[in-house]
Amino acid sequence: MIYWSAAFFVIAIIAAMFGFGGIADGATSIAKVLFFLFLVLFVLSLLTGLFRRGGRGA
């Protein structure tokens, strides 16, 4: 998912350089959504792993 976020970010930069403002805005919005979705999923998996490890009494 972080790959797709980076890909849309690169598309946004290239579109902005060529003057395609609408495409750049759309690609930037998609990149932001994917990046924050990746962060949320990462934090959830990190917390899940910590709670599983803590529940074993180790």
User: In terms of pTM, does the model score above 0.95?
Assistant: no
> Which tens digit of pLDDT belongs to each residue from 16-54?
888 887 888 888 888 889 889 999 999 999 899 888 876
DSSP per residue, 34-50:
HHHHHHHHHHHHHHHHH
Helix (H, G, I), strand (E, B) or coil at 9: helix
What size, in residues, is the chain? 58
> Which tens digit of pLDDT belongs to each residue from 2-20?
788 888 888 888 888 888 8
On whether the CB atoms of residues 4 and 34 are closer than 8 A, the answer is yes
